[in-house]
Amino acid sequence: MTCREWLLANGYVDVAAVIDQVLVIIEAKRGKTRRNWWDDLAGKPGGDPRFREGIELPVLRVAQIRQGVPVTPHAICRNENEQPPDVRKTARWKAKKKVPAKVRAVAMLPAGSGRDHKKVS
C-alpha cells in the first residue's frame, strides 16, 4: 500500500490533496523526483512541518511512528487506533555481498602464478 493509498483509506483526503499539489508542481518542472512521503509527513527532527515545492506538508502522528521518530504533541491524529502500513520491501535496494578487493584479485590470478607456492627460508 502506498502512502497516498493509505491516506485516502484512512480519512486523510486533505493530506493526499496536498501531496497531489506538490506532484503537479514537480511534473510541471518535468522533474522525476522519487519521494518517500512518509519522511516528509513525519516532519523535521523537532516536529516542525517540512516544505516541498513551497507547500507546507502537515505532520502526521502515524508517519512519525512509521519512521521511528519521536511523536510530537502537535502531530495530527484522526484515529488513536490507526496503524501505519508495513514498510514495503523491494529488490531495488537489495544489499549486495561484497568480496574484498584483495580476494577478488587473487581469485582472478591464473593457477601457478606464483601465489600458490610455499615460502622457502
Three-state secondary structure call for residue 76:
strand
- Nine cell digits for residue 94: 537489495
Q: What is the pLDDT of residue 2?
A: 87
pTM of the model: 0.70
Provide the pLDDT for residue 121. Answer: 54
> Over the stretch 56-111, which tens digit does the pLDDT of each residue have?
999 999 999 999 999 999 999 999 898 888 877 776 666 666 777 777 777 777 76
What distance in Å separates the CA atoms of residue 106 and residue 7, rounded to the nearest whole number?
Answer: 53
pLDDT over threshold 80, residue 113:
no
Confidence band, pLDDT 50/70/90 cuts, at residue 39: very high
As a whole number of Å, the end-to-end CA separation of the chain is: 67
pLDDT at 15 over 70: yes
CA nearest to 66, candidates 105, 91, 36: 36
Q: Quote the Cα angle for 86-9-52, to 5°.
A: 75
